[in-house]
Structure 1
Amino acid sequence: MRIQYDKEFYSKEALLKAAYHFTDRAYVYLGVEDGSFFVDFAAKGGTQFDKEKLENEFKNELLAQVIHQTVSKETTVLRELLVARALSSTMVDEGISSDAAESPMTEDAQDELDAIAKDWFDEK
C-alpha cells in the first residue's frame, strides 16, 4: 500500500516521526518521487491489515506531528528561558570568584542576567 504526501506541506521530520509510530504494525518504507514523499506499508508476519484504517490513522498521526513541530517552534524561546531560569539558581554562586568576575560584564548584560536569574520567590 502506498500513500503520497506533498513535500511543500509536510516536513521530512514530521513524516519520519509519524512513520515510526507504525513500525510495530507494518514494515514502512519512505521515499521521494515527483516532488512528493511516499510511504509504503507492508504487513508484518504475513498478517493482513485494514488498508483504509491504516491510511486514516497515518494521516492523523502525520497531522499530529506537524502540529507538534509548529508548537515546538513557537515555544522555543519560552522553553529556553524556563530552563535558563530554573538552572540559574543552581549554577550561580555569588560567593565564589570566577574568571567572569575578573572581566566585568557590561551594564546591559548584567541587567539581562539579573532579569533571567531573579529568584522565583522574590517579591515583584
Structure 2
Amino acid sequence: MKTAYWFTNEYFLYLCRGTNGIETNLFVEFRLKEPAENELIRLENACREFSNRLIDQVVRQSVLTETSAFRDTLVKKAFFEGRLRTDLVNAEK
C-alpha cells in the first residue's frame, strides 16, 4: 500500500486481490488522471517504476525488522545518557 500511495498523484490505482488456491496475488491497475499524448509509454514507465519502488519498500521493511532491536537499544541509551546529563546539570545548581 505504501508503494501504491506514491503513485496516486498522477494515476488512479485500482487494487484487487486474487487467489489461485495456492497463493494470493495483488493486481494493480494504473490509469492516468489526465489524458496524455503518450499514454501507453507513461503507463509502461509507471509500471516499471512501481516494480522498482515495490522492491525498495520490501528491502526497507526487511532492514527495519532486522535492525529494530538494535535501533531501540540505541534510542534507549541516548535518552538515558541525556537524562543523566540533565540530572547532573540540575544537581550542580
What TM-score do you get using the length of structure 1 for normalisation? 0.57
1:39 alignment partner, one of 28, 44, 52: 28
CA distance in 1, matches of 2:40, 2:3: 18
**Which protein is richer in helix relative to its size?**
2
Give, in angstroms, the shift of residue 24 of structure 1.
1.6
Q: Which of the pair has more CA radius of gyration?
A: 1
What TM-score do you get using the length of structure 2 for normalisation? 0.74
> Would you say 1:17 and 2:6 are equivalent positions?
no
> Would you say 1:75 and 2:60 are equivalent positions?
no
AA matched with 1:17 = K
| Bigger mean CA deviation after superposition, 63-72 or 85-94 | 85-94
Instruction: Supply the RMSD in Å over aligned alpha carbons.
Output: 1.7
CA distance in 2, matches of 1:74, 1:60: 21
CA distance in 1, matches of 2:70, 2:7: 32
| CA 91–38 in structure 1, closer or farther in 2 if over 3 Å, else same | same
> Would you say 1:89 and 2:81 are equivalent positions?
yes
Give, in angstroms, the shift of residue 49 of structure 1.
5.1
Which residue of 2 is the match for residue 62 of structure 1? 54
Give, in angstroms, the shift of residue 91 of structure 1.
3.3
Calculate percent identity across the aligned residue pairs. Answer: 34
CA distance in 2, matches of 1:83, 1:49: 48
How many residues matched? 79
Query: Is the 8 Å Cα contact of residues 43 and 49 (structure 1) preserved in structure 2?
Result: no
